[in-house]
Amino acid sequence: MCQLLGLNCNSPIHVGFSFSGFAQRGGRTDEHRDGWGIAFFEGGHDKGVRHFVDTQPACESPMAKFVRSYPIKSRNVISHIRKATRGPVALENCHPFVRELWGRYWVFAHNGTLEDFSPRLHASFQPVGGTDSEWAFCWLMQELAKSHAGMPQLAELTITLRELSAQIAGHGTFNFLLSNGLALWAHASTHLHYLERRHPFAHAQLKDADLVIDFAAHNHPADKVAVVVTAPLTTNEDWRAFSPLSMKVFVDGQAV
């Protein structure tokens, strides 16, 4: 299995604090040593993507250290640490995966294992690596492309994604994060938690590292930040568990 981290905000933020705690689970406070990855939307209209993947454990990777220290600011971030179940440890099997659809990049990361899920991929999205996760992502992209001629409104897109996710979730554990830079969709089969940080901001204590942050000192009162993660990142905040087989969509730092 693996672990997921997603952030969705109403203005670009540094992800250093959350990623610092999360990366410790990539081999130090947890067993996910088989690679990691992170993608940040950035640039005009949140259309550009910075994408980092690595086969080293996140807790030791020089690239993870660089990402923690480099002040990348983004409104939509997806990260993943991997414990290989399907597909060997290789760069092409590291999440998140990226594809383009309707002139936007889409970023996807998955936690769980799917059984007997290999629908025919007859269109223009084919997996590069050997994971069930990338296969599921390609199928999602294919079916989205078939369902809508161009990018639909958020509500309509969410209905389609909910229907498609339910079909995949029948084949196993399908906790996933998906973003196109405008919204963050999160689907839970089993374990997924979320938190909405907003004014008044308080101190937060990481669970996986000896690190405390005073969000009041780092955030503007108008800031809103939604964090979605496999297991809560901090010990003193109000994390809520997703109901099994549910999907939420986050826009501008809050659940819609």
Catalytic residue list: 2
Beta partners for residue 246, in sequence order: 188
Q: How far is the CB of 89 from a second copy (least distance, A)?
A: 9
Secondary structure of residue 66 in the 3-state scheme? helix
Distance CA 226, CA 9 (A): 6
Q: How far is the CB of 201 from a second copy (least distance, A)?
A: 28
Distance CA 225, CA 213 (A): 15
How many residues belong to the chain? 256
Q: How distant is the alpha carbon of residue 223 from its chain centre?
A: 20
Q: How far is the CB of 48 from a second copy (least distance, A)?
A: 3
Tell me 31's DSSP state.
Answer: B
Distance CA 188, CA 111 (A): 9
| Rg of the chain in Å (alpha carbons) | 17
Distance CA 195, CA 229 (A): 9
Distance CA 66, CA 36 (A): 14
Comparing CB distances to a second copy, the nearer of 70 and 163 is 70
Comparing CB distances to a second copy, the nearer of 24 and 180 is 180
Comparing CB distances to a second copy, the nearer of 67 and 247 is 67
* Structure-token pair, residue 230: 């496999």
Strand-pair category, 254-255 with 246-251: antiparallel
Comparing CB distances to a second copy, the nearer of 105 and 194 is 105
Comparing CB distances to a second copy, the nearer of 152 and 170 is 152
Q: How far is the CB of 220 from a second copy (least distance, A)?
A: 23
Q: How far is the CB of 143 from a second copy (least distance, A)?
A: 13
Which residue intervals of the chain are DSSP H helices?
16-24, 62-69, 132-147, 154-169, 215-218
For residue 200, say if its preceding peptide bond is cis, omega within 30 degrees of 0.
yes
Residues that bind a second copy (CB under 8 A): 42-44, 47-53, 55, 62-63, 66, 70, 88, 90-94, 98-105, 123-129, 145
